[in-house]
Amino acid sequence: MLEQSSKSPLPLSLKETTEWMKQLLGNSCDLIVREFKLGYEGAPRAAMLYTDGLVDLELVQLFIMKPLMELDGPPRASDSRGPGTNGPDGKQEPYIRQLVEQVLPTGGVSEIRERDGYVNAVLTGYAVISIDGYSTAIAVELRGWEERGVDEPSTQTVIRGPREGFSENIRINTALIRRFIKDPKLWIESQTIGRSTRTAVSVAYMKGTASEGVIEEVRRRLSEIDIDAILESSYIEELIQDDFFTPFPTIFHTERPDAVAAGLLEGRVAILIDRTPFVLMVPALFVQFFQSPEDYYQRSDIGSLIRILRFLCFGIAMFVPSIYIAITTFHQEMLPTSLFISLAAQREGVPFPAFIEAMLMEVTFEILREAGIRMPRSVGQAVSIVGTLVIGQAAVEAGIVSAAMVIVVSITAISSFVLPSFNISISVRMLRFLFMLLAASFGIYGIIIAFIALVLHLSRLSSFGVPYLTPFAPLYWSDQKDAIMRWPIWAMRKRPRMIAQSNRIRQRKGGPRG
| pLDDT in single tens digits along all 514 residues of the chain | 333 345 788 888 899 999 999 999 998 988 999 998 888 888 888 999 999 888 888 888 888 888 888 887 777 665 444 444 444 444 435 778 888 888 888 878 888 988 888 998 998 889 999 998 888 899 998 887 767 777 888 788 888 888 889 998 898 899 999 999 998 999 999 999 998 988 999 999 999 899 899 999 999 999 999 999 999 999 999 999 988 889 999 999 999 999 999 999 999 999 999 999 999 999 999 999 999 988 899 888 998 999 999 999 999 999 999 999 999 889 888 888 888 888 888 877 788 888 998 898 888 888 878 777 777 666 656 566 666 667 777 777 777 888 888 889 889 988 988 988 888 989 998 999 999 999 999 999 999 999 999 999 999 999 998 999 999 988 888 888 888 988 888 888 888 887 877 777 887 766 666 5
- Domain assignments of the chain as residue spans, ordered by start: 14-141, 170-284, 299-467
What Rg, from alpha-carbon coordinates, does the chain have? 30
Under DSSP, is residue 139 helix (H, G, I), strand (E, B) or coil? strand
Q: Is residue 400 within 8 Å of 352, Cβ to Cβ?
A: yes
Q: Is residue 250 within 8 Å of 242, Cβ to Cβ?
A: yes
From the list 487, 471, 287, the residue with the least C-alpha distance to 506 is: 487
* The pLDDT value given to residue 83: 41
Q: Is residue 493 within 8 Å of 506, Cβ to Cβ?
A: yes
Q: Is residue 360 within 8 Å of 401, Cβ to Cβ?
A: yes
Give the C-alpha separation, 9 to 24, whole Å: 16
* The pLDDT value given to residue 59: 87
Give the C-alpha separation, 436 to 324, whole Å: 9
Q: Is residue 503 within 8 Å of 266, Cβ to Cβ?
A: no
**H/E segment holding residue 45:** strand 45-51
Q: Is residue 103 within 8 Å of 18, Cβ to Cβ?
A: no
* The pLDDT value given to residue 462: 93
Q: In one letter, which amino acid is 497?
A: R
Torsion of CA 507, 510, 511, 512, to 10 degrees: -140
Give the C-alpha separation, 410 to 321, whole Å: 10
From the list 174, 191, 190, the residue with the least C-alpha distance to 226 is: 191
For the entire predicted model, the pTM comes to 0.84
Total Cβ atoms within 10 A of residue 442: 15
Q: Is residue 497 within 8 Å of 211, Cβ to Cβ?
A: no
Burial profile 200-213: b = 16 or more Cβ within 10 angstroms, e = fewer = bbbbbbbeebbbee
* The pLDDT value given to residue 314: 94
* The pLDDT value given to residue 255: 92
DSSP code for 507: -
How big is the CA angle at 384 (ends 381 and 389), to the nearest 5 degrees? 125
Q: Which residues pair with 37 in a beta bridge?
A: 45
**E-assigned strands of 97-198?**
109-112, 126-131, 137-141, 186-193
